[in-house]
Homo-oligomer: A and B are copies of this chain.
Amino acid sequence: MIELSENVIKGQSRAVARAISWIENDHEMKESLIDQIYPYCGKAVVWGITGPPGSGKSSLVDHLIFRMRAVGKKVAVIAVDPSSPFSGGAILGDRIRMQKHATDEGVFIRSMASRGHLGGVSGATSDAIKVLDAAGYDLILIETIGVGQTEIEVMELSDVVLLVLVPGLGDEIQALKAGVMEIGDVFVVNKSDRDDADKVRAEVKYILEFKEQNGNYIENPVVMTSAKLNEGIDQLLKDTENYLHNINLKGQLEARRKLRILNEINRIISGKIEEELKTFITQKEKLDNWIEKIYQKKCSPYSFVNENFKTFLKEYKKP
């Protein structure tokens, strides 16, 4: 076994940090590492936390960390920031947050940027979850900014998704909400001290009524919180754990986790094919001529691919 795998399994936070760097950099031993720690996974629970910028997700996460530490649970936070492909992550102010918990070995905080990962940021996050799980973190919080497609993929890695909404973010945000209601399991109306918080709560409840309901339907909690005033956090914990308990009883948690495995298989295969493809396509000496032809409108991109698609697979099979 690789030494790093052993140290991850022992729960050494420095090893965990290094393993996640391996994942981010697509280290050549990455897959061996995951293969070796994988049997030690399965104990952690993963909560996704998403919502528009300014909704107070970070403060909520902070409160959750303190509550969990108070009952002796180890907590890890992964802040995923797909909007920051250039800055290399770390824009969520997690340096500041790190300092708050710096002396606490039971807390691990890390931010991940989005570009350059085989399988995208969701692939990297998925592997990071395995590392944290194997290292003995009881609760893994995945935090995303915003509500785009990438964020939705990341949220699909969670056992339960907390969607944080907030009053007064303008019409576009209101419209957004309708689109992302389906990824939320637990709805958090934060900044409940504001006048119009009740209106947001009513809106959420109204939209939830239209959610497709079947025999296995479990009601989605809607919780009012104020991260600022430290209010509603215990209720949020209680409702979320209750929700998890219920979907576990009905077999939905297992189904969700199995679907995640299927998605992961697809993601890994696609990633591998894309890698091969890149090599193939950059090696093709005539590619520049083709691009010139397509640029001149003498050939369409689809015709080019349809003529060359099978060649790729044949070429690939050779070695």
CB distance from A274 to the nearest CB of B (A): 6
A54-B169, A148-B150 known; A35-B300 Cβ under 8 A? yes
A172-B53, A313-B316 known; A86-B300 Cβ under 8 A? no
Encode A264-293 as 1/0 by CB contact (under 8 A) with B: 111011101110011001000001001110
A84-B179, A91-B178, A273-B277 known; A146-B148 Cβ under 8 A? yes
Q: Which residue of B lies closest to A254 (CB)?
A: B295
> What residues of chain B lie closer than 8 Å to A268, measured between beta carbons?
301-302, 305
A272, B84: Cβ atoms under 8 Å? no
A68 close to chain B: CB less than 8 A: no
> What residues of chain B lie closer than 8 Å to A313, measured between beta carbons?
313, 316-317
CB distance from A235 to the nearest CB of B (A): 25
Q: Which of B86, B92, B180, B298 contacts A182 (CB 8 A)?
A: B86
A303 close to chain B: CB less than 8 A: yes
Q: Which residue of B lies closest to A91 (CB)?
A: B175
Interface residue tally of chain A, by bracket?
A: 35 or more
Encode A302-314 as 1/0 by CB contact (under 8 A) with B: 1111100100111
A149-B114, A176-B83 known; A39-B297 Cβ under 8 A? yes
A87, B178: Cβ atoms under 8 Å? yes
A297, B41: Cβ atoms under 8 Å? yes
A262 close to chain B: CB less than 8 A: yes
Q: Which of B34, B86, B176 contacts A179 (CB 8 A)?
A: B86
Given A52-B53, A258-B292, A265-B305, 19 other A-B contacts at CB below 8 A? Answer: A38-B297, A39-B297, A39-B298, A41-B297, A82-B148, A83-B148, A83-B179, A85-B179, A86-B182, A91-B179, A148-B148, A149-B150, A261-B294, A261-B295, A265-B281, A265-B294, A265-B304, A266-B281, A272-B309
- A residues engaging B (CB < 8 A)? 31, 34-35, 38-42, 52-54, 81-87, 91-93, 114-115, 120-121, 145-152, 169-173, 175-176, 178-182, 254, 257-258, 261-262, 264-266, 268-270, 272-274, 277-278, 281, 287, 290-292, 294-295, 297-298, 300-306, 309, 312-314, 316-317
